[in-house]
Structure 1
Amino acid sequence: MFPPRRWYRHWLRFQERLNLRLSAAEALVGLCLLGALTGLMAGAVNLAFRGAVELTQATFLDSEEAYEGLPWWARMGLPLLGGAAIWGYLRLAGGTDARTGVVYVIERTVYHQGYLGLRNAVTQFVAGAIAIISGHSVGREGPSVHLGATAGSLLGQRLRVPNNSMRTLVACGAAAAIGASFNTPLAGVAFAMEVVVMEYTIAGFLPVILAAGVATAMTHFVYGAAPAFSVPAIAAERLWELPVIALTGFAIGLLAALFNAALTWTTRHTEDYPLALRLLAAGAAVGLIAVAVPEVMGIGYDTVGLALLGELAPLTLIAIAAAKLLATSVSLGLGIPAGLIGPTLVIGAAAGGAIGHGMEAALPWESSGTAYYALLGMGAMMGACLRAPLAALTAMLELTAAPGIIMPGMLVIVVATLTNSELFNQDSIFLAWLRAKGMDPRRNPLLFAFNRIGIARVMDRRVTVLPRMVEHERLDHVLEEEPRWILIEGEQPRRPIAVMPVTDLLQHAHEIPETETVDLLAIPAQRLQPAAIDLRATVREALETLRRERAEALYVTRTTVPGVRGYYGIVTRRDIENRYLG
């Protein structure tokens, strides 16, 4: 057996080789294994979150989300109590950072290389559970995505993977969370790619698929594999209904634009008020709405199920759509830390069901029915609000196991999304929230693309490290290895002070007497001002470091153990420009 120290050295060498390959996007098998492990972690934490919510609800509700059975004073007081409990937890936790949800995950992925902390995740777990249990008009996918993404991020931080791979693990966690929470693995993959990382890449696609599949398998083991909603058999679409479906998409697009605008307006005009006041105001507002329309409380999947079965009257559906839109805008806009995908499904299903009833009453021939239009409205509302058409379409299919909905679903989602984005100039609600904070992930597509390229892919490994004063014999030995760069260390050990091209040194090598010690700073040669960058960094971080440090070259380094630092290569701005900017 190896002694412990030797095991540790072997582990460090393995980790170094793996991270070099991950940084250069060459370790797809390793990344898939990390994706599977992320799926296990994300699936476990989301099952724990879902279990905590449902077990607590079972203590005071006759069945899951049966808030309609509560007396009016309980419906009014429960959200208010929930808002007070969230504020109390945040205060008790001693100033815990309350930034949570999908928007926070996107921000950390784009601007902070996917580094998410455990403390925020604990806040999300507790506060998100309180919000759902107390009947606020919110969904569980916001907490689920945050918790899953954090699982992937913490795994990457523990293994010290390069930052471009860290973003992939965050996407794995987000996809696994959606898959585990809603039994929709394909929708989870599409959501992670369209919403979280906002790009599709082959290297990132396979690990994300694997993570979503692993997490969904865990949900099947606990809750079974049945779809979330039961819907009547959906016949093939009638061609004469296609114009009606397009009009349905237009109507849902109007509703999505109204929802996004209301949510953004509430956020912008209340963010300066104290958090305690906002949380209590959200509870009071939702409680008052719930007195009249109790279906707004909670995630609302029971309401979606009834709408899909055609068991709700037209006026009831209209009231639910309007009240749910208002209650969700107030809850999330005032800072309740939960998700919005669930509410969009409720709003869309109710609005679509109402349209279906209208079609049955207005048309002289038989239409496809209220369930058909409720399902179309559900997908259209999600796709338009999130600007995630593929995630919405796959969610419609997976939540209902109704393949006949694919073609009309494509039409209604496209029309709704174009209405929201082009006619009303509304972007994804998540991006709108980020822009309200002065951030725009898509402002510079080139820098955004550089986030997925590790520094190892562009660095030149032909580098040797020498002290400023070096013996001629040692210099000759080094030149025989044909390096391209010499990293010159100063009198203080391990502090590089310049980067010299070897070609400049060779031009003057014949002028140096063989008996003398060579001063590398005295030779007539180009010397570049260096700055350090970690091996885990991306090309985007390299460009930002060159600008911030006013450096001419970066030496790629990594500290494996305290006091021991390895040098891996040299990167210049010209290297990046020649390779990626033409």
Structure 2
Amino acid sequence: MPPLLQIIKKKKSQWMESFHFRLARPDALLQLALLGLISGLITGAVIVVFRLLVEETQDYLLPGDGPENYEALSVGLRLLFPIVSGLLLALLFYKASNGLRVLGVARVMERMAYHQGYLTVRGFILQFVGAAIAIIGGHSVGREGPHIYLGAASGSLFGQSLNLPNNSIRTLVASGSAAAIAASFNTPLAGVIFALEVIMMEYTLVSFIPIMLAAVTATGLSNFILGSEPAFSIPDFNFSSFAELPLIILLGLLVGAGATFYNHLIEVISVKTKHIEIWWKVIAAGVFVALIGLVYPEVFGIGYDTVNTALLGGYTVTVLFGLFFAKLLATSLCVGLGVPGGMIGPAFFIGAALGGMVGYLASYFFGYDASDIGFYAILGMGAMVGASLQAPLAALTAIMELTYNPGIIMPGMLTIVIAQLTASEVFNKQSLFISMMRNNGLDYDINPVLQVLRGIGVASVLDNKFSRRSALTDAATAKKLITTDANVNWILLNNGDGELKTLLPITELAKYIQTQQSEKVGDEALETTDIENLEELEINLFEIPANRLQLSPISLQANLQQAHEKFVQGAEALYVVFNEEEADKNSRVYGIITKSMVEDSYKL
């Protein structure tokens, strides 16, 4: 390699190492902001490609204009679309899943809770292709869940490609999730709130800024390519009278009960069919949706066209009633049977149908025209998402950005809060995502101590004042090690094979030298006798009386939660290497982590 290229490579390596160490700190705001910006661009591009693929294919395959005109299909094609889609999904999972069964938001939360946000290329491809097949084929699922997974995976894979610290990868996962929602709905603030409220379950400045930048960047890219048209056609409305409050409260109660039924049905189907292979379940889902779609073809696909019609008061009460139960059943079957689609879009559909029914009740009492029914439909949409996902702030923000009307805030807050309390306190239901994780034997730990530790990389607290030594040394060398000029706090001891197994605090060696010196020259002469008189003394660092610690490796990319877990499992001290899975006697050691360092970091 030419000398110039060698210099450039060395400088690049040094810069990247410095960058990684800075990112390991809990206050690396500027660096994370840059990464969030890039993550937003990547995620925005992925979401644009996904939407173009799905919508252009739907427009080509379906009759009439628009990407969701399943209602115009003949009876035979209504049966054919979801069944063929189910068969394609079965083939995809059979050939390519390699044991991966759960995708979407629940999978992202699981990887955040148990694997520091590490997502795989296999999962990305499976979600992209699987969700596209499911939506095009008319399965009753949404695009938002797949979008969130694709955004999270984009951020995670980007961070992994740069070997970034795990605390930074977690932020990139949340940034990708926010960017995905923002690009999907043209609602950047709702994306930010969802990522903080559901994915990270924390609100800190160091995570808020990069997530905001990611959402804004993805929204800008999506608007530039796909246009800035909102996802729904929202009619003008006004909250004109406090006499409507009883109906708004009633809507909150009904949506809370509906969200409970929605969540419970998905949980029951998921648990009862857990022992069945995924490929048989997605085929069954296709058959069930096809049968429901014979009567209510509006349940096919995401259903945004149906939601738009409901918002504009285009359905009668009887039709809304049928659509409510048909969509709830079809979505529960699809999600419960493992179809790789989302639940947010269907929740909007179900909430709009229920809100529209209450809107007709309001028009009966107050004499409103059909367009005012959209007011209750949009309230039902937000309340259903807030109650079923236990994300009230994200739901409120979403309907605010969709309507561009501050008048929605007060009635929206009231409806969402009542719906959430009804679901969580009256019926004891948790977030659908957490329920799905628990059905698979997992949990989502929101312990505040662990949240702090997850945000700090080991590289930011390690002690690099160490010396690597073999067992035998002499007193002269020991003298140099224990002087303040040596700046050594720890001695890493190699065993006979050169492997690192034991850590000796330098204070222990100093005590031993002092003891030996006292025995040699007597206590009275200790102050005047130089330690060099002991140069002939040979010291075996494995045998001297001392409080030695057994060492275990930990990766440079790890965070303090992972270090804490190693200490809980019995480790006494950790030495930091680039990759603990590949650690050997030749590995570069970056520093030492002790239990007290982890505890002090949390206290700070």
Q: TM-score, normalised by structure 1?
A: 0.95
Q: Does 1:534 align with 2:555?
A: yes
State the 1:367 CA deviation. 11
Q: How does 1:130-279 map to 2 (within 5 A)?
A: 130-279=133-282
Question: What CA distance in whole angstroms lies between the structure 2 residues aligned with 1:366 and 1:478?
Answer: 87
Question: What CA distance in whole angstroms lies between the structure 1 residues aligned with 2:315 and 2:492?
Answer: 74
1:555 counterpart letter in structure 2? Y
Q: Rate the CA distance shift 1:365–1:122 in 2: closer, same or farther, 3 A.
A: closer
Residues 179-233 of structure 1, C-alpha deviation per residue, up to 9 Å, x if partnerless? 1122111111111111112222211111111111111101110122232222222
Aligned to 1:54: 55
State the 1:443 CA deviation. 6.5
**Contact 1:462/1:485 (CA < 8 Å) preserved in 2?**
yes
Residues 314-349 of structure 1, C-alpha deviation per residue, up to 9 Å, x if partnerless? 111111111100000001111111101000000001
Aligned to 1:292: 295
Q: Does 1:316 align with 2:319?
A: yes
Deviates more, 1:340-349 or 1:62-71: 62-71
Question: What CA distance in whole angstroms lies between the structure 1 residues aligned with 2:439 and 2:116?
Answer: 21
Aligned to 1:501: 505
- State the SS of the aligned residue for 1:487: strand
- State the SS of the aligned residue for 2:589: strand
Aligned to 1:577: 599
Aligned to 2:565: 544
Aligned to 1:15: 16
1:420 counterpart letter in structure 2? A
Question: What CA distance in whole angstroms lies between the structure 1 residues aligned with 2:61 and 2:370?
Answer: 41
For residue 412 of structure 2, the aligned residue among 409, 413, 419 is: 409
- State the SS of the aligned residue for 1:115: coil
Residues 151-173 of structure 1, C-alpha deviation per residue, up to 9 Å, x if partnerless? 11111111111111111011111
Q: How does 1:85-100 map to 2 (within 5 A)?
A: 85-93=88-96, 95=98, 97-100=100-103
State the 1:257 CA deviation. 0.4
Q: Rate the CA distance shift 1:569–1:50 in 2: closer, same or farther, 3 A.
A: same
| Overall identity of the aligned pairs, in % | 43
Q: Does 1:558 align with 2:578?
A: yes
State the 1:489 CA deviation. 2.0
Aligned to 1:485: 490
Q: Rate the CA distance shift 1:367–1:359 in 2: closer, same or farther, 3 A.
A: farther
Q: Rate the CA distance shift 1:4–1:408 in 2: closer, same or farther, 3 A.
A: same
**Root mean square deviation of aligned Cα:** 2.2
Q: Rate the CA distance shift 1:562–1:252 in 2: closer, same or farther, 3 A.
A: closer
Aligned to 2:530: none
Question: What CA distance in whole angstroms lies between the structure 1 residues aligned with 2:97 and 2:397?
Answer: 41
**Contact 1:139/1:342 (CA < 8 Å) preserved in 2?**
yes
Q: How does 1:459-478 map to 2 (within 5 A)?
A: 459-478=462-481
Aligned to 2:383: 380
Question: What CA distance in whole angstroms lies between the structure 2 residues aligned with 1:449 and 1:95?
Answer: 34
State the 1:47 CA deviation. 0.8
- State the SS of the aligned residue for 2:486: coil
Residues 432-455 of structure 1, C-alpha deviation per residue, up to 9 Å, x if partnerless? 001111211137443344322222
Unpaired stretches in structure 2, ≥5 consecutive residues? 518-533
Q: Rate the CA distance shift 1:183–1:194 in 2: closer, same or farther, 3 A.
A: same
1:25 counterpart letter in structure 2? P
State the 1:363 CA deviation. 4.4
What is the aligned residue count? 580
State the 1:77 CA deviation. 2.1
Deviates more, 1:554-563 or 1:9-18: 554-563
Deviates more, 1:450-459 or 1:83-92: 450-459
Aligned to 1:77: 80
**Contact 2:344/2:385 (CA < 8 Å) preserved in 1?**
yes
Q: Rate the CA distance shift 1:237–1:552 in 2: closer, same or farther, 3 A.
A: farther
Deviates more, 1:408-417 or 1:479-488: 479-488
**Contact 1:531/1:546 (CA < 8 Å) preserved in 2?**
no
Unpaired stretches in structure 1, ≥5 consecutive residues? none
Aligned to 2:529: none
